């Protein structure tokens, strides 16, 4: 199964969740260095766009994910634009700084990470969604992870995803929940 990603953190996270039940190949593993377009304006659209791109060129089964951080007080922003919130590129530092600045003085700090996985299996398309609710912290907390992890605190915890660490994050995260649904589906639809 091809996982349409170049992000080693994600490959590691999802691989750990699958617990060795399925061998995953990354874009690097299949020798794809293309800059795959992600120009849709929804997470669903982007996940499908990436999965279709690889399926059309490489064949076989594959899945792609797209994630956004949706902040209530910002009408769901940065959402589908989370990776390039502070401008082109994938600069997590700049993205977090922009978000913290926009949240200054806001009492409603509710936010959620939402992941959509698009699977193409035997030519058919399926979508799976995972959500984790929480809030944007006033100050960053360093640790593991990537992206907005240092400023997102999931509900039921008092620390950021970064500080909680991969072990906790991999159990409760948006991606974990979407991957759980994917794995459940694959278990019952394995040919």
Please report, as ranges, the residues that interact with ligand IMP according to CB under 6 A: 65-67, 69, 82-83, 90, 92, 95, 145-149, 161, 173, 175
66 is known as an active-site residue: yes
Which one, 18 or 107, has the nearer CB to ligand IMP?
Answer: 18
Q: Which DSSP category does 73 fall into?
A: G
Q: What region does 188 belong to: left with phi over 0, alpha with psi -120 to 50, or beta?
A: alpha
The contacts of residue 4 (CB under 8 Å, 6+ apart) are: 27, 36, 50, 51, 53, 54, 62, 63, 64, 65
**Closest CB 161 distance from ligand IMP, rounded Å:** 6
With residues binned 3-state (H G I as helix, E B as strand, rest as coil), the percentages for the chain, rounded to 5, are: 40, 25, 40
- 29, 61, 65, 66: the catalytic one is 66
Which one, 125 or 189, has the nearer CB to ligand IMP?
Answer: 125
**Closest CB 189 distance from ligand IMP, rounded Å:** 24
**Could you give the C-alpha distances from 70 to 43, 80, 84, 109, 167, in angstroms and in order?**
11, 8, 14, 11, 23
Which one, 55 or 67, has the nearer CB to ligand IMP?
Answer: 67
**Closest CB 147 distance from ligand IMP, rounded Å:** 2
Annotated active-site positions, please?
Answer: 66
């Amino acid at each position: 199964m091809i996982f349409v990603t170049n992000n080693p953190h994600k490959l590691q996270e999802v691989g750990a969740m699958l617990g060795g039940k399925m061998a995953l190949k990354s874009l690097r593993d299949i020798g794809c260095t293309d800059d795959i377009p992600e120009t849709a304006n929804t997470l669903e659209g982007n996940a499908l766009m990436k999965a279709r791109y690889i399926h059309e060129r490489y064949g076989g089964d594959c899945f792609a994910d797209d994630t956004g951080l949706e902040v209530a007080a910002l009408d769901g922003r940065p959402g589908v634009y989370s990776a390039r919130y502070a401008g082109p590129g994938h600069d997590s530092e700049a993205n977090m700084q922009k978000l913290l600045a926009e949240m200054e003085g806001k009492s409603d700090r509710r936010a959620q990470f939402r992941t959509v996985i698009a699977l193409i299996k035997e030519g058919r398309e399926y979508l799976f969604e995972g959500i984790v609710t929480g809030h944007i912290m006033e100050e960053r907390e360093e640790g593991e992870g990537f992206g907005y992890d240092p400023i997102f605190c999931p509900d039921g915890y008092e620390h950021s995803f970064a500080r909680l660490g991969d072990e906790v994050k991999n159990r409760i995260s948006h991606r974990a929940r979407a991957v759980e649904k994917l794995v459940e589906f694959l278990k019952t639809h394995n040919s």
